Structure 1
Amino acid sequence: MSTRTGRTASHWGSYEVDTRDDEVVDVRPVPEDADPSPIGQNYRGILRGRSRILRPAVRRGWLEGRRTGRGAEEFVEVSQEEAVELIAAELDRVRRDHGNEAIYGGSYGWGSAGRFHHAQSQVHRFLNAIGGYTRSYNTYSHAADEIVLPHLVGDREWFLRSVPSWEEIVEHTEEFIAFGGLPRRSPQINPGGVGSHLTVLRQVEAARNGVHFTIVTPIRSDTNDELGADWLPLRPNTDVALMLGLAHTILDSGRADVDFLERCCVGWDVVQKELRGELDGVVKDAEWASGITGVPVERILALAERIATRRTLIGVTWSLQRQHHGEQSYWAAMTLAAMSGSMGRPGGGIGTGYSSMHNAHHGDRRSPAAALPQGRNAVATHIPVARISDLLLNPGRAFDYNGSRLIYPDIRLVYWIGGNPFHHHQDLNRMRRAWEKPDTIIVHEPFWNAHAKHADIVMPVATSLERNDFAIGMADGWLSWMDRVAEPPEGVVTDYEVFSAVTEKLGCAEEFTEGRDAWEWVVELWGRSRTKAAGFGIDLPTMAELRERGSIPLEIPRTLPTAFSELRADPEAHPLRTPSGRLELYSETVAGFGYADCPGWARWMEPAEWLGSPLARRHPLHLVSPQPDGKLHSQLDHGQESRRHKREDRAVLRMNPADASARGIRDGDLVRVFNDRGATIACATIDDTLLERVVALPTGAWYDPVDPADPAPLDKHGNPNVLTLDIGTSALAQGPSSHTCLVDVETFAGEAPPVTAFEPPRLIPASDTDRPLRREETDE
């Protein structure tokens, strides 16, 4: 019996881990973590469970020359050498016959917190080494904000680094208006790692220091009870209407900060016309906003009074821009903040993502650690990340994106590691149709999730517990070592080793590896990190000292003045990086694009689906799909902590008591959640913290269709993305609109199908087939 003890770092925290015979038997938070996340308990028992992929596998239908059947067919298990040969031959065929533009490199970067074993860096470096690929821009998390903020403030990174920090909020803020709430679950997560969780502790400290919180959300539990926050419930997707109603009230009362608006902004004249109805004949007053949002007029008036008379911070969660016209939520919030009188003053103005992730807003966002160089992509073609189904379904079609007219290329091969599109993409039945279009889909995965089951060639890879690395999270105060606390199953290697073998076959191994193995790369990146950190005034120890200590505290204080403070003081001396040098409440650039779904200023536009739309007569409930409590996205969904948050091993749908009663649904009942796009089975929980006609189903349940061969199968595990709408936020950002979604719910009738999400597909040893291990040529 072999035992090991070591440390690991993850996107949800750092832990001490005990293993026995290469399986995790105990997980403990590191001593420095002030508010540890329980998500680490998902490590227990996963390394040798049934879901683990033990050998390379090739879909039988792909070997027979068929694109159809992904997700429904058996796999042939092959050797590592045979799989590498198949991958290299297929990559070579596609780039020879169709060009490197026909290869799509998919990764969402969450595969590991390590600096070297970072899945996104690995696959991009690999694809660049073989000649390039079509890539994606932006993120599912905040695509709309990534595009719209530069039009408003010029430099998005400057804005994120200078908005009020939690320390500043504690000291100076009087009113914190949290549009989208301040959920406790999201600050558990940080890209690159978390040494010590601080966000929730800072929120509580602010409340105790007298900061008054108001949460604007359809779910009252989207904040911590310790904050004593006022709840302002509103219909989903109507925040912009409320913001404009508040802005009109401030304008009408004569309390708008005209000095800042005229000296430091452009577009104040357009804003006034919009609010007064001079552009469309509709006055955006409190009564108008109340009719759309469901918020009583008197509460709108009272909130506007507080915003205009107290040092106020307008907080906007990332979830608000993951909806149809999501760009407008940030534009309207910026407009309201500019009118408030608090913009550019300590603890006031506007900030984004205050409870969307741990890195918002503590230390400086600059990192002293080096990253793996990705090389140069010789292919310029790209798409917005959330348009993957459009890409595969519509080769040759033109589309708009941030003022450009782009064309979807003809993708023949998808290579995807470090992400699960069957978790994070919308309208999975549509995506399954799109998934049939490429000739070949190759993935690396440790576990048999839906992503692996819908691939053609599956390469098993080591987990973060089975390799050495070091980690640092964005704006986190700790740099951590990652021990190899277990050996991977026999024959299972790392992403890097797979790519090294494939590049050897393709004749470009030197460009990819530079003659280093994985350990030599870790040593190299640590040396580069020591050099980079010295430029920050930080003296990092040797790698041997880091391994001995386990973690190192870092001080990277924020040094930038509060956002817009210098602009307020002297707009001529401190212009923004916008065309005007001012805060652009009206963007001539965006207005010039001529997009009907995104004018160049803040405007309420009805989303494709909402509780005020005609569709609500058939699907009368608005579905929100928040991040899960027990895991990051869909990672380790089969782990103990993830499954602790389920009932009957299915995801939990929260319903208001009145909505449940009207449908005869009781607490604990299995229910069918459905709309025209699809249906899923979940377990109902009655929850009076939800606004009526709103239901909540968290993301992250591994997609588990009853009949994978059905074009629109019933999902039996509670995955909300069989229901969500797959359209761009607008032609400007083309971000995801997952929170624009109407559904209905009914008691599930008949015998419930068992959950099989964590079961592997049928696997056939290569020796049991009578076909050669190569793909047959077909005309399909």
Structure 2
Amino acid sequence: MTHNKFSRRSFLRTTVAGSASSFSLSTWAQALASQNSPLVTGKLPALENDVKVVNTYHEIHCHGQCMLKAHVKDGRLLALTSAGDIPSKDCLASDESIGKMQRRACMKGYAERKRIYAPDRLKYPLIQTIERGNTAGFKRVSWDEALDRACDAIHKMQLRQKELGYLPIWNAGCDPLNMLGPCLSAYGHHSAGNQNDCLYNALGKGVKGHPAIDMLNSKLIIVWSADPQTTSPHLPFIMTKAREKGIPIIVIDTRYTGTVGAMATGIPGVPGWIAPRPGTDSAILVAMANTIYRRNLHNPAYLKKYTFGFFPGDSVVSASPAKSPIDGHPWKGESFTVPAGQSFVEYLDELNTLHGGEEGVLKWAEMLSGVPASTIKNLALAYGKTKPACIYSAWTAGGAQRTGNGMYFTWLMLALAAMTGNATVRGGGIGSLSPNEGLSLKLGKAPGMAHGKTFKPLLFSTHLSSQVIMTGRDSRTAEQLRDDIKLLNNIDLGQDPRLHVEMFIKGKGSGDFFNQRSAINPKLEAWKQLTSVIAYERFMSSTARFSDIIFPVVTHFEESFITGSRVKTDTNFVNQILDPMYECKTDWEINELIAKRLGLDWGRDGKTDIDVMKIQWSGAKVPEKYKELNPDFKLPSFEEMQKEANIQLYVKPEQSVIDAAKFAPGEFPTDTGRINFYSPFLAQRGRLQQKAARAQYVRPPEGIEDLLEGKKGAKGIAYSLQFTTPHMPNRSHSSFDNTTVLMDSFPHCIFINPQDAQKRGIKDGDEVYVYNDAGCIKIPAQITLRQLPGVVSIGEGAWYQPSATEKYEAWFDSDGDGVPEKHIVAVDVGGAVNTLTTDRDIGAADPVLHLQTSKSGGFAAGGNLCEVSKQKPA
């Protein structure tokens, strides 16, 4: 096999032929760049002699680490170019370098100028004068009036605090309120909850996956249910270098993504793209594990040394360095034995007997997934025989991790890695990638805002927030809820334990809580019960639309801070390039104004953004391991860092830091001290929604089995399609959904296979209705072979827009009794996919785990059922 050398710049051009998605990512990025500056063919032309050029980091919710050059004159942003753009005659060395990777901007970065100066940007404080959701009712008020109204609402909650023992405020970022007493807060993470629950219980607290750079040490790369061209823009470059080395790449994804088109090579007997139905990935993984076990391709010596729960009767006296998060007792010295019938081998034997042997298990996986049994077998044999082999699904991945059995999908990838000895070696991988390259610069501690005692919040599931507002309970039993609040907050909720949520306030952060965290139609019912809703927002997002008070906040171009963001190898300075526009303020300034009115000693004590950054930088420390690897490295001065805005702790592939490799066998920070195929802690906690405390396939609460069985929903309809909710290249979750240049380039639509479109009389561009028991959206159709037959996809993050004229009969449970009721709801013409999702906890659903990982509690947004038609359903 031969591989032509080509630069990253030429790679962006040549991958156009790979797929429509690749075309969009490269061509539109250049088109958007050209709005601000000419394409770079030589020396970057000066805009004007007195234009100031500032390096800054593009802080949005992705993993790209993109650096921008802001061209500013007289306090106005004239243009944005990529900090990675250099004259073509000098580009090759930098393009080819993985020593300091070029952090080039994507289309969202180039579009930021449009976003900063967008006419619909929120400019002044607003109050709602009619009913929530009616944008015509918002009225401009002064900051004093808006703050007074907000504090009046908080004072009313303080009166309720005397009755309840806590503030019935769902506090999502107004930090000073935590000094008034315990508030309410949500646990559960829509991007990584399933992944983190698995990793904590199977590997231990804080143990990360392999770094991305380590792929270059592998002999086979399997990218499973991840689209890094969209969600992790730094990864495609590393994957390109892997292709140049001749490392084969297989991409497993329900959709034909840009990653498939640009990266997938395949191997003999296994195509480059494997396309399972949503929610069936773990069935393929189980079948692969069974074949590897039957063919003796597993590593028994490694398994006995490193793992717990693989073999029947596994027993161990723990040498774990960790402690129980329940009572803090050390796990070291505690004895654990896998219960009869709960080992992984016993599970494989049961599966093998049930389906008539190895070939039968492969056929079962084919029946569920739609992937040929021969492909699954060949993939298993290739993975089992190739040493080392990398398997990854990225970090905070979407795809299969966001389905109804996403925790088990993650666990089974780790199981394959452990079976074959790939979990702790260079070139291997456990499924999850590390969010960094193994080594992170540690900043000095920023000065604290709270000058006094703060209180821990009472936690409830974000995925069942509407039910909690309506009934006071999530998926936990009354006894579990009472025990958790006693344990974590030392508050007894009594014989009828319920949480009272009477107010919501969204402070710092980019998430659209109304749009993305749970189903929309139940939330519309629940939010009617709230006495007050307050949001800090930049635009009239879905959360802002359904608020009573809106505080306008600045963009990241109007403030300064240091961030490691999501790929912690880099440390970045977000340099302020504009004065705050209109009457917008930073999140911390709004919090300080609220704190002052409430009589709280909270704030920065006059420190500016730059003062805080200097304190952090003065205490910055380089990891000792990095000093060993690169003894000549020196931290730049604060002024040098301000100018450059980016620093990378590059580690060579052959020196890649494998987090799981630093633990001696038996000394992992799990309860058993081993890599767990079975988790005694999960079993003991009793919070599992699907009851299985081991790696295995579990039937999702909604998915392909229901479709194959013709199961009817509450409306009496047997829906015939599954849907997925992929991340889209033109949005960062809900951010940028109103950025016109991106909306024009990537119109929001439903992607549907030609076979499914033809059955329904749908033509390309037709307005169609997508519906199920939860609700109905109206959206244009795009017919494409990139979709599997029987599966449609709708990009996540679009803003909810209720139709003023079209109604729909939805059926969902709003009173928590488990029985759906009929509700007449508006058809959503904005195409928010959460109109179609169902509120449910999956995986572990445990606030104790959340306190260990900060991102626990799984989300299921892919694989659910729906129908599509040109006619509006009843």
TM-score above 0.5: yes
Q: Which has the higher contact order (CA 8 A, sep 6+)?
A: 1
The residue that corresponds to 1:174 in the other structure is 219
Correspondent of 2:113 among 18, 36, 44: 44
Change (3 A) 1:489 1:3: farther
Distance 1:682 1:5, change over 3 A: farther
- Which residue number corresponds to residue 691 of structure 2? 598
Give runs of aligned pairs for residues 218-367 of structure 1, distance below 5 A.
218-221=254-257, 223-229=259-265, 230-268=272-310, 269=312, 270-277=343-350, 281=354, 285-311=361-387, 312-317=389-394, 318-319=397-398, 320-352=400-432, 354=433, 360-365=435-440, 367=442
Kindly indicate whether the alpha-carbon contact (under 8 Å) linking 2:682 and 2:844 is maintained by their aligned counterparts in 1.
Answer: no
Aligned to 1:140: 190
Q: 2:702 aligned to 601, 609, 619, which one?
A: 609
- Pick from 58, 68, 76: which aligns with 1:15? 68
Q: Of residues 734, 740, 760 in structure 1, which corresponds to 2:863?
A: 740
Task: Tell whether the 8 Å contact from 2:160 to 2:167 is kept in structure 1 after alignment.
Answer: no
TM-score scaled by structure 1? 0.82
Can you list the C-alpha shifts for 1:544-583, whole angstroms capped at 9, x where unaligned?
443344444445789885355466xx625xx111222111
- Which residue is equivalent to 2:236? 200
Output the CA distance in 2 between the equivalents of 1:535 and 1:27: 34
Say if 1:341 and 1:25 are closer, same or farther in 2 by CA, change over 3 A.
Answer: same
Bigger drift between 281-290 and 659-668 goes to 281-290
* Alignment deviations for residues 381-411 of structure 1 (CA, whole Å, 9 cap, x no partner): 1123333223212225671689965565201
Q: Please tell me whether the aligned partners of residues 184 and 223 of structure 1 are also in contact (alpha carbons under 8 angstroms).
A: yes
Match of 1:165 among 211, 222, 225: 211
State the Cα distance separating 1:440 from its structure 2 match: 0.7
Rounded to whole Å, the distance in 2 between the matches of 1:630 and 1:327 is 28
Residue identity in the other structure for 2:641:
L
Corresponding residue number in structure 2 for 1:680: 777
Distance 1:402 1:95 in 2: 23
Secondary structure at the counterpart of residue 637 of structure 1: coil
- Partner in structure 1 of residue 602 of structure 2: 512
Corresponding residue of 1:775: none
Alpha-carbon distance, 1:452 to partner: 0.9
Deviation at 1:747, TM superposition (A): 2.3
1:631-680 CA-to-partner distances (Å, cap 9, x unmatched) read 21111222245313433xxx121111111111121222222211121111
Q: 1:228 to 1:324 in 2, by over 3 A?
A: closer
Q: Say which SS state the counterpart of residue 214 (structure 2) adopts.
A: helix
SS at match of 2:110: helix
| Alignment match of 1:719 (pick from 824, 827, 832) | 832
- Contact kept, 8 Å, 2:689 with 2:845, in 1: the verdict is no
List per-residue Cα deviations over 1:405-460 (Å, max 9, x = no partner).
Answer: 55652012211022212331232111121222221111111211221110011111
Distance between the aligned counterparts of 2:408 and 2:390, measured in 1? 18
SS at match of 2:705: coil
Matched, 1:27 2:80: yes
Superposed CA offset, 1:220-243 (max 9, x none): 225243423311111110111111
**RMSD in angstroms over aligned alpha carbons?**
3.2
Partner of 1:694: 791
Match of 1:215 in 2: 251
Tell me the secondary structure at the aligned position of residue 680 of structure 1: strand
The match for 2:504 is: 414
The residue number in structure 2 matching 1:192 is none
The residue that corresponds to 2:620 in the other structure is: 532
- Mapped partners of 2:555, 2:726: distance in 1: 26
Aligned pairs for 1:431-446 (under 5 A) are 431-446=523-538
Q: Retained in 2: the 8 A contact 1:366–1:474?
A: no
1:635 aligns with 2:729: no
Displacement of 1:279 after TM fit? 11
> 1:130 aligned to 2:180?
yes
Output the amino acid matched with 1:621.
Answer: L
- Alignment identity in percent? 20
Q: For structure 2, which runs of at least 5 residues remain unmatched after alignment? A: 1-47, 86-101, 266-271, 313-342, 486-496, 628-632, 808-823, 847-856
Give the direction of change, closer, same or farther, for the CA distance of 1:215–1:677 in structure 2 (3 Å limit): same
Amino acid at match of 1:665: I
Residues 377-416 of structure 1 aligned to structure 2 (within 5 Å): 377-395=454-472, 399=476, 405=484, 408-416=498-506
Aligned equivalents of 1:86, 1:96: Cα separation in 2: 16
Match of 2:843 in 1: 730
Distance in 2 between residues matched to 1:212 and 1:235, nearest whole Å? 23
Deviations 1:17-44, CA, capped at 9 Å, x for gaps: 3457866542211137344312113323
Measured after TM superposition, the shift of residue 205 of structure 1 is 0.9
The 1:454/1:168 distance shift into structure 2, 3 A limit, reads same
User: CA 1:744–1:8 in 2, change beyond 3 Å: closer, same or farther?
Assistant: same
Q: Is the 8 A contact 2:730 2:746 kept in 1?
A: no
Native 8 Å contact 1:426 1:723 kept in 2: no
Kindly indicate whether the alpha-carbon contact (under 8 Å) linking 1:630 and 1:642 is maintained by their aligned counterparts in 2.
Answer: yes
Correspondence for 1:75: 138
Contact kept? 1:70, 1:436, Cα under 8 Å: no
Q: Identify the residue that residue 459 of structure 1 maps to in structure 2.
A: 551
Q: Which runs of 5+ in 1 are unaligned?
A: 62-67, 108-119, 189-197, 751-780
- Tell me: CA distance 1:686–1:310, structure 2 relative to 1, closer, same or farther (3 Å): same
Greater Cα offset, 486-495 or 539-548? 539-548
Could you tell me which amino acid in structure 2 is paired with residue 246 of structure 1? M
Q: Any idea what SS the aligned residue of 1:481 has? A: strand
| Counterpart contact for 1:342–1:349, Cα < 8 Å | yes
SS in 1 for 2:620: helix
Q: Please say which of residues 241-250 and 488-497 is displaced more in the overlay.
A: 488-497
TM-score normalised to structure 2 length? 0.74
Cα distance in 2 for partners of 1:542, 1:397 equals 50
Give 1:366 deviation, angstroms. Answer: 5.5
In structure 2, the CA distance between the partners of 1:553 and 1:612, relative to structure 1 (3 Å rule), is: closer
The 1:464–1:563 alpha-carbon spacing in structure 2 relative to 1, beyond 3 Å, is closer
Deviation at 1:535, TM superposition (A): 6.8
Q: 2: CA distance between counterparts of 1:266 and 1:547?
A: 49
1:90 corresponds to 2:153: yes
Tell whether the 8 Å contact from 2:519 to 2:839 is kept in structure 1 after alignment: yes
- 1:772 is matched with which residue? none
| Rounded Cα–Cα distance in structure 2 between residues aligned with 1:272 and 1:324 | 24
When residues 257 and 566 of structure 1 are mapped into structure 2, their CA distance, relative to the original with a 3 A threshold, is: farther
Does the 8 A contact of 2:285 with 2:412 survive in 1? yes
Measured against aligned partners, the alpha-carbon deviations of 1:605-640 in whole angstroms (never above 9, x if no partner) come to 222221331348732111111111112111122224
Q: Which deviates the most, 684-693 or 1-10?
A: 1-10
Listed one character per residue, the Cα deviations across residues 110-147 of structure 1 (whole Å, up to 9, x for unaligned) are: xxxxxxxxxx5xx33x2223334222334221112222
The whole-number CA distance in structure 1 between the counterparts of 2:55 and 2:757 is 45
